[in-house]
Each structure stands twice: as C-alpha cells, then as structure tokens.
Amino acid sequence: GFGQAPALPVEAELIKNITLRGLTVGSINTLRELSRAVERHALNPVISKVYGLGEAAEAMALMESQQHIGKIAIQIADEALS
C-alpha cells in the first residue's frame, strides 16, 4: 500500500455532499507476483481501449459509463503496448 491514509474531517464530506471511493491494489510484491504469473502463463488481458496520457478524461468517462468490456489503459510511455 501507500501507507496510512490522510485524515479527512467527516464534516467536509457531509457539508459538500461528496462521495469518496478507494481502491486497494495490493503491495509491490503482489504486483511482481502477478507480473510473473502473466508472463509465465502467457496471459493476455482483454483491453477495451488504450488512451494517451492527454486523453485521461475520456478514459475516465468510458469507465464511468460502464460501456466497456475489458481493461481501459492509459499509455504514458512512447513505446507501443504489446
């Protein structure tokens, strides 16, 4: 993880009527294990669409629409995704 989450006054959420969502992605060791398993078993995840970094808002809109099947990727390097 990323350590302890910062404190957020409950009043701020109630006053602004906001929704908070969190995502637990696991540790760096879990990511390494997952990467090895994907490589070892030649797994190919379904990728719905790849966006450039400047298209992050469009990627988020697609995710929120729930009209995709598979992963939505944001490519941040110039190298082509395989």
Task: Give, in order, the Cα–Cα distances in Å from 9 to each of 4, 14, 63.
Answer: 15, 9, 29
Check whether 17 has a pLDDT greater than 90.
Answer: no
pLDDT tens digit string along 48-73? 999 998 999 999 999 999 899 989 99
CA count, 13 A, side-chain hemisphere, 54:
1
Check whether 8 has a pLDDT greater than 90.
Answer: no
Res. 1 pLDDT band, cuts 50 70 90? very low
Check whether 74 has a pLDDT greater than 50.
Answer: yes
CB–CB of 58/74 below 8 Å? no
- Global pTM reads 0.50
Radius of gyration of the chain (CA): 17
